Structure 1
Amino acid sequence: MNLHIQFLTLSVMAGSGAFMGILFDVYRVLSGQLRPPRWLVPLLDIGYWMIATLFVFRALLYSNDGQVRMYVFLGLLLGVWLYFRFASRFTVRFVRFCIRTVKALFRFLVKTVEVVFIKPILLLYRLVIVLLGFLWAISIFLGKVVLQLLYPFFALGRFLLRPLLKRLHIPAGWNRVAGWFVRVVQAVKRWLFGKDGQ
């Protein structure tokens, strides 16, 4: 293996070590922010090491066809050390900035949906309820007024027709219909005016 390939392998492994450090910082910050369940942490650790191992293996195949030498591990350690010595804090700050940005964007979207859709719908619902209640109150009031106005005519008609109805032979079926109508009118009066019908 010539010197060029060895230098390429050392450089690629150093970059792989830096990538492992970046991936570890991202994983560490996300775990601290999301706080996964305790039972999930070992699985996430295994996932991190699987991704890092696959990446290093692919990089090693690219650089020297997968041949493992001592300088491969030296390159990995060098990349990890250089990353944590000079760039780790910037990665952590950047990841936290991205998390804050995503949270702010999510809050903005939620607020926008609430202002544009939810609040108008709730306001319209309340207006409809108030309008229906107002119309219901008006209809009850008008019904009371109409019954109050018609009640003297009902009483007068019953008084005037009582002698005529006594002289006429009315079938029993019509008597039942008239009784049913009187009971309905009385029930409506009780519902509108109370038990006393006044």
Structure 2
Amino acid sequence: MGLAYDSYRVLSGQLHFPKWSLHIIDFLYWCGASIFVFRMLYISNQGQLRFYAFVGLFLGVWLYFLILSVTTQRFVVMLIKIVQYVLYLLKRLFMIFIWIPLRTMYRILIWILSATGTLLMFIVHIILRCLLPFWRLSKWMVSPLTSRFKIPSWLQKLVNSCIELWKRRF
């Protein structure tokens, strides 16, 4: 019971529980300890509660707090530090072996895609510049035919918006 109490005291100090929860946890601990003590007394003494049992209980608690309490608290603090260090190592290993490679691959993929897109747009731009004289020539040749057909207004608006977007882009 002393080990559990010292562990609880150290953990509550290290983990900074809210003050209101400390009272609840204290109450639960003492209820559990009382049930445990009276259950053990009932089993060992066949339900007879005598003065020497309480004296022995008091001396045991007093000797524990006199001799073993500080050692137990130091041991629990050491365990907490070991757990914190192991968690720190796991976090570092995750960062080194998983997060940083994934982030680097993502950045490389984005760079490759943007470079490919830029190169593709450049090639399309050059091809269209080279085809511009042929486009003008074919437009001039077809203009007598197209002048006789009426283009629907919605199609004309769509073509004009595409032309404006193209001009803004290039």
Fold match by TM threshold 0.5: yes
Whether 1:172 and 2:150 are equivalent positions in the alignment is yes
Structure 2 counterpart of 1:69, which letter?
R
Cα-to-partner distance string for 1:7-34 (whole Å, 9 max, x where unaligned): xxxxxxxxxxxx3x22221111111111
Other-structure match for 1:34: 15
Across the aligned residues of Structure 1 and Structure 2, the Cα RMSD in angstroms comes to 2.6
Match of 2:60 among 79, 82, 90: 79
Cα-to-partner distance string for 1:48-92 (whole Å, 9 max, x where unaligned): 101211221121122112211111111011101111121111111
Aligned length: 170
Structure 2: distance between partners of 1:77 and 1:101 = 34
Structure 2: distance between partners of 1:178 and 1:63 = 98
Structure 1: distance between partners of 2:52 and 2:28 = 26
Structure 2: distance between partners of 1:143 and 1:58 = 87
- Structure 2: gaps of 5 or more residues: none
Match of 2:73 among 87, 92, 103: 92
Q: Is the 8 A contact 1:140 1:192 kept in 2?
A: no
Q: Is the 8 A contact 1:25 1:91 kept in 2?
A: yes
Q: Which of 1 and 2 has greater Rg? A: 1
Structure 2 counterpart of 1:35, which letter?
H
Whether 1:157 and 2:138 are equivalent positions in the alignment is yes
Superposition TM-score, scaled by structure 1 size: 0.75
Match of 2:41 among 47, 60, 79: 60
Whether 1:147 and 2:128 are equivalent positions in the alignment is yes
- Structure 1: gaps of 5 or more residues: 1-18, 194-198
Structure 2: distance between partners of 1:154 and 1:123 = 45
